[in-house]
Amino acid sequence: MTTPKLRKWDSAEHLKTDEDMAAYLEACLQESGDDAAFIAKALGNIARAKGMTQLSKDTGLGRESLYKALSGEGNPSFATILKVTHALGLKFQVHRL
């Protein structure tokens, strides 16, 4: 009997369209509660799906800085989050609870 080969799940591999990316971010926002790192990681997954090099050019931020800030381990400023969402063609909307 052979042992199946497993690999770590990577959300970025499954984000193919802009609609997929928007739906993914919306779902992450709903699930995150007040976990800002969760949202930063979700944006990082979207950024990797779109292409970190292009995102770096569009935001004026270094690739390494983006990888760190959007890893879920970093602590990006709100200005960075806004630059990234804008460059990805995404925006936040506010609704009353």
- Contacts of residues 17-26 at CB distance under 8 Å and 24 or more positions apart, as own/partner, are 18/89, 21/46, 21/49, 21/50, 21/88, 21/90, 22/90, 25/90
Q: Considering the entire predicted model, what is its pTM?
A: 0.87
pLDDT tens for residues 12-34?
A: 999 999 999 999 999 999 999 88
Cα-based angle 72, 18, 83 (whole degrees, multiple of 5): 50
Residue 97 clears pLDDT 90, i.e. is over it: no
- pLDDT-derived band of residue 87, with 50, 70 and 90 as boundaries? very high
**Sole residue written with tokens 């993914």:** 24
pLDDT band at 7 (very low <50, low <70, confident <90, very high): confident
